[in-house]
Structure 1
Amino acid sequence: MTTHAPPPVRATAPPARTRSEPWEFTGARGHRLSGRLELPVDAEPTAVALFAHCFTCGKDGLAAARTSRFLARRSLAVLRFDFTGVGGSGGEFADTDFSGNVADVVLAAEALRTRLRPPTLLVGHSLGGAAVLAAAHRVPGVRAVATIGAPAHPGHVRAQFTAADRERITRDGAAEVMLAGRPFRVGAGLLRDVAEQPQQQRIAALPAPLLVLHSPDDTLVPPSQAREIQHTAGDGASLVWLHGTDHLLTGRAGAERAAALISAWAAPLLAGGE
């Protein structure tokens, strides 16, 4: 049964002031990954969170940047970063795959542990949501996982490519395709890798409660994917619909609402945790 989190209670005090710091660390393939750490200014963060961006979007995409900043205004420290081969991070996109993204999440969590403290909240958008679901059991101490517009299986990303694109990528080993209006060189390893992931087993064995956020009007990842994630996760999962938003959270209000829901839902799970 679909469950709905209560609307967040509005605090009487103004939201915390925040600051943003650039931060680099080493990713799964040995390249330097570009990140930004969003921090509250006036107090120590109540918890540490890690945000994984959507397929090809990058850490500075609207959904990643806005959601992370809004979470920081609610006293969380949040690291958002570019996966290998994306944005300011090193490496070639054609050489990356979903398994590498998952490994980047795990190493980002380890980097947070050494610099600040371990992340207890994992948040992922779209394919980044699938990545945090896959990585959660490899992040010690995680207490809560939240996804926004995530597919139930990373293989869903194959729908981003036309049949002709998939044929060229498979035949030539890599090919340039248009994604979200931009050219990307995609390797055949990505198509194979996303199809081979044991995602259902990972979701069923999540080590922490799960919040699934999804727009009922999402045209890129159908709402049925959110229902499948919740059903697979079982009693530990809550599903909340983000009415009036699109898949990329292009409206500022959508990102703010997602962050408010995540912070309100996660607060009791994160309280007192290191």
Structure 2
Amino acid sequence: MRSQKVNFTNSEGTQLAARLEWPVNQHPHSFAIFAHCFTCGKSLSVVRQISMALNLSGVAVLRFDFTGLGESEGEFADTNFSSNVEDLIAAANYLEQEFQSPALLVGHSLGGAAVLCAAAQLPAVKAVATIAAPFDPAHVQHLLESVEEEIDREGLAKVNIGGRSFTVKKQFLEDIREQNLVDKIKHLKKALLIMHSPQDKTVSIDNASRIYHAAMHPKSYVSLDGADHLLSDKKDAAYVGDMIGSWVKRYLDLPDKEDLRSDKAVAVRLGEEGYTTEIMVRHHSLQADEPESVGGNDFGPSPYELVAAGLGACTAMTLQMYARRKKWPLEEVVVHLEHYKDYRSDQENLEDPKSKIDHFSRTIEIEGDLDETQRQRLLEIANKCPVHRTMEGEIEVVTDLRMDKSLETGKPEN
């Protein structure tokens, strides 16, 4: 189970739709809430990309639609910035009641301003990350410039944002005009990460500077150089998720690493798009993928590249172990590998596809004051590394089909 569909109610009794994204081993060490941008939704590509990156860091992410947006109930016209903050509080209460209080809040654009406001009301939150957030919620008024006079005069107006039509009432304008984040940022008392692109044409970079200078330590800033406001390039979104995942570990009470294991040492899960795959090896996490040339996102090494990497790592470790036991001055080992398929013989059975076998080309560089006899002995030892012997030996893969994707966690499968 990667994504669990859930619902919860806000303070007005309105049902909000959400997705709870789980790490591949189903055992998160912390929970986070993602607040999306103005008039966006939980299914925006950047939200899903960042959630997946946080999952790789062992964080479960609740991404939800604010009232009146996406699959959530209610009327957008009746919402405002203050109601968005209340929705965030409701999301945190839901996690506390059903799973665990959120330790991290992540907000994009106006959602970033919302998490800065909500954090003060959530004592369990230890860290807050903002992405392209405005210093002043009233910043979104520029999106309403064409109808602002009509709203003030008539009490409401329809506005087109991102190709969609929304009704905005006067109370929305009045609410954002009354907001002041300075004191909330200054007294945040949470670790703060501010991420912003210098090229952001929607929310200018000076907003990040004002947030940073208003905040007390610990605070950090990461430039998203070259990214647009919506992080429409998947690699930008993945980078943001990776940075947040690495940064927040400093501020979370992480359990013993052994507690993060699944029921097997390695767990692998295919992502929602393309071939991007999440891998958890004990408490270590990484991604596998395919090159863009074959339809992948190139977010990680391919499966065969991972096999080659395993052979290379085992080769280097084995040589170091042997040299240490012999007290030889081996200073460094570098192993270069490549996988390809070729014929057993250049002229044998060229028409038979079964005549091709897997080849791993391995070149070893060793440094140290070693004589030729020692170097040749190390070459012999390289061919005896455990992974090499496994690959050349008889291998049996036993596979069974597990119908219960919840891995016996008791969480419902969706």
TM-score by length of 1: 0.90
Deviations 1:37-67 (A, max 9, x none): 0001314101110100000011111221211
Deviations 1:154-201 (A, max 9, x none): 010111112x40011121211111112211111111111011012111
Q: Which residue number corresponds to residue 31 of structure 1?
A: 14
Give the share of equivalent positions with the same residue, in percent: 45
Q: What stretches of structure 1 of length at least 5 have no aligned partner? A: 1-17
Q: Which residue number corresponds to residue 181 of structure 2?
A: 199
Does the Cα contact within 8 Å between 1:102 and 1:132 map onto a contact in 2? yes
Q: Which residue number corresponds to residue 55 of structure 1?
A: 38
Deviations 1:47-105 (A, max 9, x none): 11010000001111122121112211221100000000111101111100000000100
Q: Does 1:235 align with 2:222?
A: no
TM-score by length of 2: 0.60
Does the Cα contact within 8 Å between 1:136 and 1:207 map onto a contact in 2? no
Give the counterpart letter for 1:211 in structure 2.
Answer: L
Q: Does 1:264 align with 2:266?
A: no
In 2, the alpha carbon distance for the partners of 1:235 and 1:207 equals 8
Q: Does 1:46 align with 2:13?
A: no
Q: Does 1:64 align with 2:50?
A: no
Aligned equivalent of 1:112, options 89, 95, 100: 95
Does the Cα contact within 8 Å between 1:136 and 1:142 map onto a contact in 2? yes
SS in 2 for 1:34: strand
How far has the Cα of 1:263 moved from its partner? Answer: 0.8
In 1, the alpha carbon distance for the partners of 2:246 and 2:39 equals 29
Q: Which residue number corresponds to residue 106 of structure 2?
A: 123
SS in 1 for 2:215: helix
SS in 1 for 2:88: helix
Give the counterpart letter for 1:37 in structure 2.
Answer: L
Q: Does 1:250 align with 2:228?
A: no
In 1, the alpha carbon distance for the partners of 2:103 and 2:2 equals 20
Q: Does 1:184 align with 2:128?
A: no
Q: Which residue number corresponds to residue 192 of structure 2?
A: 210
Runs of 4+ deviating beyond 4 Å = none
Q: Which residue number corresponds to residue 342 of structure 2?
A: none
How far has the Cα of 1:30 moved from its partner? Answer: 1.6
In 1, the alpha carbon distance for the partners of 2:152 and 2:55 equals 42
In 1, the alpha carbon distance for the partners of 2:221 and 2:161 equals 28
Tell which deviates more after alignment, 236-245 or 145-154. 236-245
How far has the Cα of 1:29 moved from its partner? Answer: 2.5
In 2, the alpha carbon distance for the partners of 1:69 and 1:21 equals 13
Aligned equivalent of 2:147, options 165, 170, 180: 165
Q: What stretches of structure 2 of length at least 5 have no aligned partner? A: 256-414
Q: Does 1:77 align with 2:38?
A: no
In 2, the alpha carbon distance for the partners of 1:236 and 1:40 equals 27
Does the Cα contact within 8 Å between 1:129 and 1:146 map onto a contact in 2? yes
How far has the Cα of 1:237 moved from its partner? Answer: 1.6
Give the counterpart letter for 1:85 in structure 2.
Answer: G
Q: Which residue number corresponds to residue 7 of structure 1?
A: none
In 2, the alpha carbon distance for the partners of 1:251 and 1:161 equals 26
Give the counterpart letter for 1:239 in structure 2.
Answer: Y
Number of equivalenced pairs? 255
SS in 2 for 1:234: coil
How far has the Cα of 1:236 moved from its partner? Answer: 2.3
SS in 2 for 1:130: helix
Give the counterpart letter for 1:66 in structure 2.
Answer: Q
Query: Over alpha carbons, which structure has the higher Rg?
Result: 2
SS in 2 for 1:147: strand
Does the Cα contact within 8 Å between 1:28 and 1:100 map onto a contact in 2? no
RMSD of aligned alpha carbons:
1.2
